[in-house]
Amino acid sequence: MKVVVLVPSQESLATAGVRIRYLRLREPLAEAGVSLTVMPIDRFDPLNADCDIAIVSKCYDARALVAAAVADGRKISVGVDLFDDYFSDERDSRLCRYRTWLRQMLRISRFAICSTRSMAQIIEGYRGDLPVHILNDPAPAIDRSELADVLERKISGSRSSSVLRVSWFGIGDNPFFPVGINDLAAFGGALRALTSEGIAIELAILTNKRALDQSGLAMIAQLPLPAKIDLWTSQREAQLLMHTDVCFLPVNAQPFSVSKSMNRALTALSAGCQVLSVGYPLYESLDELIYRDPSSLLADWRRGEPRLRASSIAILEAKIEQLASAHQEAANLATFLESRWKTRISGTSSGPIALLHGFTTTQAAHAAVKAGGGLSIATPFCSQELDFDGIVRLPVGGEPSLLLSTDALRRVRGPGRRSKGAQRLAGKKFRAFEPSAVNDEDPATVRPLPVQIALYEPMIERLSALLSEQLGVATVLLSEESALPVEPMI
Amino acid sequence: VNLLLKALRGLESKASEYRLRKRRRRSLALLAQCKLFDRGWYLQTYPDVRDSNVDPIAHYLESGWREGRDPGPDFSTAAYLKGNSDVAALGINPLLHYIEHGRFEGRGAPHVGAPFRASFSPDKRFGPAAPCASFTAPPLRPVRWARAGRIRAKEELLASIEDVSVAHFGNDRDKLSFENALEQLAWVSGQNPTAPEMLQISGGIGLELRDAWNSGTGILRTRWLPAERPIVIRSIQHHGRGAALVGEGCIADRLDVLDIRPLSPLYPLLFVFTTADGQFLGFRQLTFPALCRGGLYYPELIALARADNPTAAVDLARMDGQLSSRLFSIRTTAAPTVAEVTVTLEAADGSHPLFQAEYRQWLANIMCVSVKAAVEGTGPIQKYLAAAVKLDASTPRRGAATLRLANDMVPSISALVMSSEGCATDDLAGSLIVASSDRNIAIWIRIADGTPAAEFGGYSSALPALLLNGRAGGLPTEALLLAIRMPARRPLDDAELLFPRLPRVEETALDRPSITWLLRPDRWSEPELMHCLEALAEQTSSASATIFIGEPGEVTACVAEQLFGTVRVAPTTREATKLIETSLAGYIGSNIILHDRRTASLLVEALDDDTITVTAPVVSIKKGAKRSLALPDGGTAFAHLLPHAVVPIAEPSRDFWIARAEMVRELYERPTRMMGRHLCSMHVSVSRLSGTKTEPDSKFPARSKQCSSITEALIG
């Protein structure tokens, strides 16, 4: 079975996420007879792709929707892998674009993969009948004797020097949510509780450069003790963890954070670090090995018996086996994908795909739908000039009109397929549907933006219904890259 | 020529030697005057230097620092070089660098044994700032003072904290005074159940606390008005494990500061004043160190001090003293107003102080107040948050009211120490302060007449409120400062201004009230009026009619008829009100667009019997290469101060409101302010077309340019 994971770009291939989530599984999947390829979506040709299963990962744009719809028509089983929650908080108007994308993606998908139970519940909220598989982030294998040595060295070293080396590591910011450095600052009082016990604390912070802006540095300055800061790289992370006694991992309770995997805690434990996690109990399945409050940590440390010690490595191994074993995760995934592949079916309707272009769209999405034989249709809100197959006009106070090029007209069918007379726009011959005089001089984009926002959702919903009910379009998709808070239900 | 060149080279060499000698003399003088160089300590610490009969200053200057030796106990050569890699790279004497440059650049002088702190330069190195002037600092008055633990006296005359001597007494009265102060500190810190007979904030001789600020990395820096003689101050905190010494220093000069590293930034501090050799002089208690600059409660200090006397300097000690007296009162004799705190968990993420152990410990032990979630949650996050916020005080309070807060607030100290002396009989909305992220700027939203905040659709108000616990009386009637709202951790996005955070409301879930829209064509351009009608037609409410006040254009009338069916024209507003046949009416002044389909339905939800009009904040979309939103007038409050709230406003919005039809008629029959209230719902917004605004909305005053620290009386 050939599986392709589609990621947003060439650069994505080098990210820690791809390395941890997919590349660690490649070998064990191969042993189970599954070949796994990770490729940028730009290089994926759904009409000619040699694969059985395609998994869309982090490609939150219309290219993925089109690729999925086209591939589905070729009996390639398409699924989506979700591990960041940009979808559950329906009150958040900044994320309308993501919710609209997911609603469409799940409509096309034959299955979904996700990182945690919370993410699975989110998917169920969108589409309850979709098979969902929870794929835990695999953790690297640990060497028992080496880890025992590391623990012995760290515990005896820190006790003899009375210096506790505490680290915080990870992505320090997010474009939408206050996480990372914000959490460190908000929960930093717990670090004061460590210093209160008369122990010298050396705090180190390893994070990305973008998080270290003026506000990030100000928050770090408000921590109760000085910190040494460095920029994150995977090598530096490994180096830091090698010299860290305690990893401080605060977690807030916003949906984005509580849907995260246990990757950070497992990484820290595997490197021989004690974990102090305050806030939301994200790592509660590791409770035997981690600390929820500083006083327990200090008490155990004074006794020389912290929760992660040579005698508890077996527990860690069992936890990794249960929650993050690459072999186990690969075997489970292979079984799941095989079942999806065996029960695969292609799209039921034989009509074309139509991609509606909203406020902001991309040439790539337009090219993808054209290449897939679909219709590329500009809504009244689209100001970009592309070689569209269809254009919608909305005169002020009048009825909307859909104009299809004569070429596109040949590809649609249904009761609505009747010509209203040809006219030439942008050098192309179009025919109008819906009764209205078409005036090329009054596209909707001449309207003020608030008016466009008010009209957007009903217009897209009506257009979608028209295309599928009147013109036999199999799948109507929307390309919307704008950050405007519009969320049509299509 | 050769001879001349040789002579020149000789001269140059001599000039260079002269410069070096001059520089050396100057360096020796600087080190000799510097109190960080302790000649005695140096000789005692390094016996090889003592035995070699070398001048210690010259030794340190020439070779000592290169060998990693320290010039005195208060300066670590190694830590300074490790913490300042740019200095280390230059290969210059670290103490000289500190004297000449470092201290003016904000670099610390690490004492011996201090862990080093690396200067931050992830990808860019900044050179040292060039001094604009170079001069020898005047010699400071050398002060010899005994550190804690080195104070010597007979055991019965010694005061000790954690087995470390902190003072000695000249008489029994002083000793008793100190012991009482220490017991009072334990009591106020919740560590000693026996209350003192009376509160004594200070006693004996002491210095005046002028300022205190959180200088980062857990340090509280204090500045004092010096006396004629040097005074040593030691700071004690009682936190869990008994009293602990958390800072000491000598104040001999106006520039001297005392650094304290509190075990808790909230727990009371006791300052003990002694002579340089440790003889007890007096004490002073700072009950609320969080009132200091950068502290959690600093905005409250500013607000209270300015309310007292807007022009006077903020007096930390005096305000702390007043609040301390009230705390003493409610913990001993008087009944407090606030019985417990309830917290609404809407949009909570559990990162605010009410969820943090350090703050909760203070609430439980010092304020003795219980906290619980306003509504028990059902989902795992809500359950976690409800459990995380729940706090049981060891002794329940006897108060009359529940203080309701949003989860991003903390109760004000004033509210928590307020005694029950008033006679209000109804629930009461209070004022709040919205703090900036660094807590040094605060906006005070003062609810002058205590008008209750409107409840709306099950969502909590963003205003704190006192809710009577089924009992009459017990609430003061004056305006109350009830809470500080912690900073939003980011500014609102444009998308959030257009569509405020609100659960998506399905059309079927909303009532579809019939509304008659009143419009004035003379205040619109015809195309824009038609745009307004287009947007109105998409409202989930059903518009049964449109009434134009004045004649619309022919095309507009045609469009309106097509969109709404019924169109009527009235010559005047008064006449128009008589034509309204539906139970609800909406007025849309010039250039307002309802960009959200839910607007009318949501605003109608907020209309109740006591409400005349309800409106929404206005956002303006600026045109240009990059689209952006502006928030004139009330938008400021909407975006930054009171999101997700319905608040009373002084008068109807000039350009947009919805009201019940009979109220509309009343409004025009009696143009003066009617009995009843006007509301602004921050749950939804409307747009104003750009470039057409002629005068500000009247509902909110603009923020004062002169004073960004406090803007009072948003609501008249």
| Contact status, residue B629 vs residue B620, Cβ threshold 8 Å | yes
For CA atoms B363, B367, B368, B371, the dihedral sign is negative
What is the pLDDT at residue A424?
Answer: 72
pLDDT at A78 over 60: yes
What is the predicted ipTM? 0.90
Tokens coding B538:
């998409």
Q: Render pLDDT for A403-440 as a digit per residue (tens, 0 to 9).
A: 888 888 888 887 766 666 667 766 777 777 764 544 54
Average pLDDT for residues A43-60, to the nearest whole number? 94
What is the pLDDT at residue A31?
Answer: 93
Chain A residues lying within 8 Å of B597, measured CB to CB:
454, 457-458
Cβ under 8 Å to B: A residues 54-113: 90-94, 96
Could you give the strand order of the β-sheet that contains B370-373, starting from the edge strand earlier in sequence? B370-373, B338-344, B401-406, B465-468, B428-429
Give the pTM: 0.82
What is the per-residue burial (b if ≥16 Cβ within 10 Å, else e) of B18-27? eeeeeeeeeb
Picking from A117, A126, A196 by the largest number of B CB atoms within 10 A of its own CB, the best residue to mutate is: A196
Q: CB distance from B490 to chain A under 8 Å?
A: yes
Chain A residues lying within 8 Å of B534, measured CB to CB:
396-397, 447, 451, 454-455
Chain A residues lying within 8 Å of B626, measured CB to CB:
none
Residue B665: CA count within 13 A, CB half-sphere: 11
Cβ under 8 Å to B: A residues 338-397: 396-397
Chain B residues lying within 8 Å of A190, measured CB to CB:
357-358
Residue contact B349–A451, C-beta within 8 A: no
Nearest-CB residue to B122 (from A94, A230, A458)? A230
Q: Render pLDDT for B134-149 as a digit per residue (tens, 0 to 9).
A: 666 666 667 889 899 8
- Nearest Cα of chain B lies from the Cα of A103 at a distance, in angstroms, of 15
- Nearest Cα of chain B lies from the Cα of A73 at a distance, in angstroms, of 33
Chain B residues lying within 8 Å of A192, measured CB to CB:
218, 263-265, 358
- What confidence tier does A262 reach under pLDDT thresholds 50, 70, 90? very high
Comparing A208-217, A281-290, B456-465, the range with the smallest average pLDDT is: B456-465
- Nearest Cα of chain A lies from the Cα of B666 at a distance, in angstroms, of 32
Q: Render pLDDT for B247-291 as a digit per residue (tens, 0 to 9).
A: 999 999 888 899 999 999 999 999 999 999 999 999 999 999 999
Picking from A85, A92, A93 by the largest number of B CB atoms within 10 A of its own CB, the best residue to mutate is: A93
Nearest-CB residue to A455 (from B264, B347, B538)? B538
Q: Which among B607, B566, B563 has a CA at the least distance from the CA of B584?
A: B607
The nearest alpha carbon in chain A to B620 belongs to A450
Secondary structure (DSSP) of A5-16? EEES-TGGGGSH
Residues forming a β-bridge with B343: B373, B405
Q: CB distance from B662 to chain A under 8 Å?
A: no
Helix (H, G, I), strand (E, B) or coil at B566: coil
Q: Render pLDDT for B642-664 as a digit per residue (tens, 0 to 9).
A: 776 777 776 777 788 999 988 88
B630 or B651: which leads in pLDDT: B651
Nearest-CB residue to B349 (from A222, A224, A254)? A254
The nearest alpha carbon in chain A to B598 belongs to A454
Nearest-CB residue to B687 (from A189, A253, A450)? A450
Q: CB distance from A480 to chain B under 8 Å?
A: no
Comparing A72-76, B21-25, B674-678, the range with the smallest average pLDDT is: B674-678
Cβ under 8 Å to B: A residues 287-326: 293
What is the pLDDT at residue B569?
Answer: 92
Q: Which among B265, B186, B169, B260 has a CA at the least distance from the CA of B223?
A: B260
Place of tokens 């600092």: B137
- What confidence tier does B105 reach under pLDDT thresholds 50, 70, 90? confident
Give the integer Cα–Cα distance in Å for A86 and A487: 14
Residue contact B503–A483, C-beta within 8 A: no
Percent of chain A whose pLDDT exceeds 70: 94
Q: CB distance from B415 to chain A under 8 Å?
A: no
Residue contact A453–B504, C-beta within 8 A: no
What is the pLDDT at residue B691?
Answer: 54
The region that residue A279 occupies, defined by phi over 0 for left and psi between -120 and 50 for alpha, beta otherwise, is: left
- What confidence tier does B454 reach under pLDDT thresholds 50, 70, 90? very low
- Nearest Cα of chain A lies from the Cα of B597 at a distance, in angstroms, of 6
Nearest-CB residue to B217 (from A178, A225, A278)? A225
Query: Could you tell me the CA-to-CA distances from A334 to A264, A337, A338, B346, B627 in Å, in that order?
Result: 25, 5, 6, 41, 48
Residue contact B349–A484, C-beta within 8 A: no
- Nearest Cα of chain A lies from the Cα of B671 at a distance, in angstroms, of 32
Picking from B161, B349, B492 by the largest number of A CB atoms within 10 A of its own CB, the best residue to mutate is: B349
Comparing A18-22, A204-208, A355-359, the range with the smallest average pLDDT is: A18-22
Q: Render pLDDT for A392-405 as a digit per residue (tens, 0 to 9).
A: 888 877 778 888 88
| Contact status, residue A5 vs residue A55, Cβ threshold 8 Å | yes
Helix (H, G, I), strand (E, B) or coil at A405: strand
Q: What is chain B's mean pLDDT, rounded?
A: 80
Chain B residues lying within 8 Å of A457, measured CB to CB:
597
Q: Render pLDDT for B704-715 as a digit per residue (tens, 0 to 9).
A: 333 222 233 333
Give the integer Cα–Cα distance in Å for B393 and B370: 5
